[in-house]
Structure 1
């Protein structure tokens, strides 16, 4: 077609596989005919290896961050599981008593079984949330509804929010477009941003502890997740450092929230 070509490729050489980046530019004569092609080829092997190492390191940090987050949620998770499990036991015992009677009330038994199914699903939601946090592996991009991801994150920390005497509101944007990215990473971002806000409001009086979460559509068909809280905020002198790994204003050393968020957002933006 007579237009410049830019592409990446790989070669299997005696010394091993090499990666390269090439640029080809057609050159035309006075009549406009292509009479030669000028090209440049750059060896990208070391850069590719460095990028792969960086991705593995970031995935490991993200996984450790999720595991550390579970440490803060232990009491909340125990409560979230104990409630539906206790309800299942209670309904199962009630159904057994109804069945033992001379004239079992089928309507009451049916109601008990319906409640058992609902509580089982509730416990399953908690366990699936834990599995998402503990899952380790490479990113798996897919089409994601950010509203669903944020709802799942809020549901996971619901009891922790109550224990902290904090109010939370979620305003999902109606008709929010799907985004391309890794669900686990985005789930972690939403969860950690919310937990950071909960930490930030801890020093406020209970009557003034609030977290606001909302989604909205941005220009170009993108989406935004906005988390605000009643905490004191980040000092202006520290703003330049908020994307540094392990930086914290509240003494919590495990939070790599913004660096991981930045990585996940960049990965989602680069997905086709």
Structure 2
């Protein structure tokens, strides 16, 4: 009897020792996994944060033998809490559609969003005051759950939940600590993603404002350029009207007047098209672009301004047909900004030599350089070091935003921009762009 009693007291102790050992090994493995998560969240690009979070929700669940997890976000205290990322073990019920945690679990959601965990190893452990959670668990499960506040920037921006539906499970303190760390890592990544989205929106607005300012500078010369073909059209139509009033005694002259009016109408429409294309908001879209054709568009757009200021513009593209990867509207704005700056530098200098050279040439393997060279008086060394900073300008009435926007666009394309003094007079601004990759001929051809 005594031996039997001894055996009965030793067996639970062995079980407990084995369980503690399993929990420690699980906690150690999970701690290592969270270390990997930290590195992954630090290096993931902002546009891939959402996919990476869902991938790691799955890795955490598989590591802890869980069945379902989710991340919830709230943009501001007045906005609703919504599920933004989910993971479900295969062959388990999908996450409820249009799930509203604040409606179904109001008290529990408020608790977690106030910065406190809500954890239970089995449904019977749910506090009596959380009646909404008890009702939810009785109807939908899970049998064990951990809801962790998701902190970012010193405030709770959401929560991460982890549940097991097959059976109850304990939540050792080490595991909860690492789940809290994982939720913080998710929060930091989401905050970084949102910050980059906000910065992108500001940059887009700044670019649009810069284009608007440029267009206001071009209005006078563009009006003059449009008035020329409109005047020619009016003249041709007046002559045609006179011929028709006389019974059209010279059909060939009448036909020539009509053809001239048509061509001038096309010319006017093309000027308007260029203005609208440049001034239009658009979604960034990077493709292979013929840089020579893009520069020609800018030269045509500024032709009236160049004529009014008596500035000659020369373009040299090497090799001809050079293509780069980028957003055509943004790159057109880069060239336009620098060309208008060159015009201003020459005008303010009152230089007898009045020419601007635009040159495209290989910079290094895989990159092309676009240079805009003016014949102005150059830039003072003290200002040259700060040219691309906000509100720094060499113009008497400049805002100091054009070069800031230009640098932002160039860097978003992976390139860089700099200014250098010319040996004789003036300044050259150069920026680099990636060369568009061409498909290898015969790459898909079978061998043998």
Equivalent in 21, 32, 45 of residue 190 of structure 2 = 45
The answer as to 2:253 corresponding to 1:108 is yes
Q: Is the contact made by 1:67 and 1:133 (CA closer than 8 Å) also made in structure 2?
A: no
Q: Is the contact made by 1:140 and 1:181 (CA closer than 8 Å) also made in structure 2?
A: yes
2: CA distance, partners of 1:88 / 1:217: 44
Q: CA distance change for structure 1 residues 84 and 179 in 2, over 3 Å: closer, same or farther?
A: same
Q: Which residue of 2 aligns with 1:237?
A: 382
Q: Which segments of 5 or more consecutive residues in structure 2 lack a partner in the other structure? A: 1-39, 55-69, 74-82, 87-181, 416-433, 437-448
2: CA distance, partners of 1:125 / 1:173: 27
Q: What SS does the aligned partner of 1:127 have?
A: helix
The count of residues paired between Structure 1 and Structure 2 equals 248
Deviations 1:143-182 (A, max 9, x none): 2111112111121121211222322222233424222211
Q: Which residue of 2 aligns with 1:13?
A: 71
Deviations 1:180-202 (A, max 9, x none): 21111111111110110111112
The answer as to 2:212 corresponding to 1:154 is no
Q: CA distance change for structure 1 residues 245 and 137 in 2, over 3 Å: closer, same or farther?
A: farther
Higher RCO structure (Cα 8 Å, ≥6 apart): 1
Equivalent in 328, 331, 335 of residue 186 of structure 1 = 331
Q: Which residue of 2 aligns with 1:137?
A: 282
Q: Is the contact made by 2:337 and 2:406 (CA closer than 8 Å) also made in structure 1?
A: no
Q: Which residue of 2 aligns with 1:34?
A: none
Deviations 1:121-149 (A, max 9, x none): 22122212221232123312232111112
Once the two structures are overlaid, the 10-residue window that deviates more, 51-60 or 129-138, is 129-138
Superposed CA RMSD in Å reads 2.7
Q: Is the contact made by 1:176 and 1:223 (CA closer than 8 Å) also made in structure 2?
A: no
Q: What SS does the aligned partner of 1:218 have?
A: strand
Aligned ranges 1:5-84 → 2 under 5 Å: 8=48, 9=51, 10-11=53-54, 13-15=71-73, 16-17=83-84, 43=186, 44-84=189-229
How far 1:249 sits from its partner (Å)? Answer: 1.6
Q: Which residue of 2 aligns with 1:163?
A: 308
Equivalent in 391, 402, 410 of residue 265 of structure 1 = 410
TM-score w.r.t. structure 2 length? 0.51
Once the two structures are overlaid, the 10-residue window that deviates more, 106-115 or 146-155, is 106-115
Q: Is the contact made by 1:176 and 1:216 (CA closer than 8 Å) also made in structure 2?
A: no
Equivalent in 301, 304, 318 of residue 173 of structure 1 = 318
Once the two structures are overlaid, the 10-residue window that deviates more, 199-208 or 225-234, is 199-208
The answer as to 2:366 corresponding to 1:221 is yes
Question: Of the two, which has the highest radius of gyration?
Answer: 2
Q: CA distance change for structure 1 residues 269 and 108 in 2, over 3 Å: closer, same or farther?
A: farther
TM-score w.r.t. structure 1 length? 0.80
Q: CA distance change for structure 1 residues 267 and 114 in 2, over 3 Å: closer, same or farther?
A: farther
How far 1:206 sits from its partner (Å)? Answer: 5.0
Once the two structures are overlaid, the 10-residue window that deviates more, 218-227 or 51-60, is 218-227
2: CA distance, partners of 1:120 / 1:50: 47
Q: Which segments of 5 or more consecutive residues in structure 1 lack a partner in the other structure? A: 20-40
